[in-house]
Structure 1
Amino acid sequence: MKILLLNPNTTADVTGLLAAAGARAASPGTELVPMTAKRGVPYIATRAEAQIGGAIALEMLAEAGSTFDAAIIAAFGDPGLFGARELFSFPVVGLAEAAMLTACMVGRKFAIVTFSRTLAPWYQECVAMHGLETRCAGIRALDEAFQSISDVQSEKEEVLVRLANTAVEQDAADVVILSGAPLAGLADKVKDRIPVPVIDPVAAAVRQAETLAVLKPRKAIAGTFRRPGPKPTTGLAEPLAAVIEHREQGGR
């Protein structure tokens, strides 16, 4: 099985964190192929950056073609996820959706804990996008600066653990999701210091992607995720233009 691990941010070190955490969760025989955005922002933290990252994610998926059994958009908030499900026939999984649905299997309400308060509004909208508002106990975010996006999980580990415990104690969270691609792998390090299950989004996404790859769901030809008809484009990256114009079979 071959799964594309697509980071729509430009920080290669974060892609490395994602790949390492994903590899620990992957089944024997699963190959994770990491891919980092060539343009964009170091990490997505706002609605505007999410719009940019979503478009870049679609370009990256089109560039990768149909050589994968599944793909993961490895940015919590799932930029471009629904558009990807329209355009491509292989399963596409988002970090946020995979983490939240996994959390719903082990508890009634989950809390999202992240590394920057600027992320909170976008994450709240992501929860609503997936129809999970009633299952979310709340979002807790750091309200202090950090030195490096690549090292934020080690730099702020103690504070993040305290926030997670506060979510359990004050928000009645049954599950904690440590969210944001730069926190990949942190859940496994701190799970024994938090009294409820702790979900690592990339681990959840890898397992969900494997499951969908095995199930091989058909591409919708009706409903809201059917592939749109061909349309002319101007100025788009060639692989994405080809997909939108139906000029090639990759991704169908």
Structure 2
Amino acid sequence: MRLLLINPNTSVDMTERMVATAGAVLAPDVDLVAVTAARGMPYIASRAEALVAGALTLEIIAEHQADADAVIIAAFGDPGLIAARELFDLPITGMAEAAILTACMLGQRFSIVTFSRTLTAWYEDAVALSGLQARCASIRVPDASFKSVATVQHELEDELVALIARVVEEDQADVVILGGAPLTGLAGRIADRVSVPLVDPLSAAVAQAELLARLKPRPARAGRFARPGPKPALGLTPALGAWIEHR
């Protein structure tokens, strides 16, 4: 089995951290192929940036789908997820959706703890897209600054642990999701320091992609996720243009 992991950010270091984290949940017969966006932003942090990243994600899937059994969109706001499911025939997971669904299997109410207030509106949209707002206890950010997204999980580790304790006590969260690709891998490091289950979104998305690939679902041929009919395309990448035109 081969899984395609797409980092819509341009940070190669972030992709390498994701691959290392994914290794802990991959079965021995699974090959993970990681692709980092060649254009865009080092780190997506707004709805506008997510829209750009979503288009780049579609390009990458079109180029690599022939060799993949499932796709992971490795950015917490899931840029391009719904469009990709409509356009392509293979299973596709996103970090936010996978984390939220996993959290709902571990407790009644979940909170998302992240590292920057600029992310919260986008993450609120991700919760709304899942239809699980009633089970979201809160989205919280520590009152502390950091120097770089590359090192934020180490810079704010103690602050995030303290915030999780507050979320459990004040918001009555049963499960906490560590939101944001820069926090990938942190859950395993701090699990023994908190009192509730933690969800690493990348691990959840990879595990669910592997499960869906093994289930071998048939692509939709009717309904909201049926592939659109052929349409002329101008100026797109060759692979994406050919797929849209059904060539």
Q: TM-score, normalised by structure 1?
A: 0.96
Shift of 1:141: 1.6
Is 2:207 the counterpart of 1:227?
no
Q: Which residue of 2 aligns with 1:39?
A: 39
Q: Which residue of 2 aligns with 1:215?
A: 215
Amino acid at match of 1:219: P
Is 2:154 the counterpart of 1:154?
yes
Is 2:9 the counterpart of 1:9?
yes
Which deviates more from structure 2 when the two are superposed, residues 236-245 or residues 144-153? Answer: 144-153
In the aligned structure 2, how far is the partner of 1:129 from the partner of 1:118?
19
Question: Is the contact between residue 8 and residue 57 of structure 1 (CA under 8 Å) also seen in structure 2?
Answer: yes
In the aligned structure 2, how far is the partner of 1:115 from the partner of 1:20?
21
* Unpaired segments ≥5 residues, structure 2: none
In the aligned structure 2, how far is the partner of 1:142 from the partner of 1:232?
48
* Residues 163 and 69 of structure 1, relative CA distance in 2, 3 Å threshold: same
Q: Which residue of 2 aligns with 1:250?
A: none
Secondary structure in 2 matching 1:20? helix
Q: Which residue of 2 aligns with 1:22?
A: 22
In the aligned structure 2, how far is the partner of 1:229 from the partner of 1:143?
49
Shift of 1:145: 3.1
* Unpaired segments ≥5 residues, structure 1: 248-252
Question: Is the contact between residue 117 and residue 143 of structure 1 (CA under 8 Å) also seen in structure 2?
Answer: no
In the aligned structure 2, how far is the partner of 1:167 from the partner of 1:243?
45
Amino acid at match of 1:182: P
In the aligned structure 1, how far is the partner of 2:187 from the partner of 2:220?
35
Q: TM-score, normalised by structure 2?
A: 0.98
In the aligned structure 2, how far is the partner of 1:38 from the partner of 1:96?
22
Instruction: Provide the aligned C-alpha RMSD in A.
Output: 0.9
Secondary structure in 2 matching 1:125? helix
Secondary structure in 1 matching 2:50? helix
Count of residues in correspondence between the two structures: 247
Runs of 4+ more than 4 Å apart: none
Secondary structure in 1 matching 2:67? coil
Shift of 1:143: 4.2
Q: Which residue of 1 aligns with 2:194?
A: 194
Q: How big is each residue's C-alpha offset from its partner over 1:146-195, in whole Å with a ceiling of 9 and x where there is no partner?
A: 21211111111111111211111111100000111111110000011110
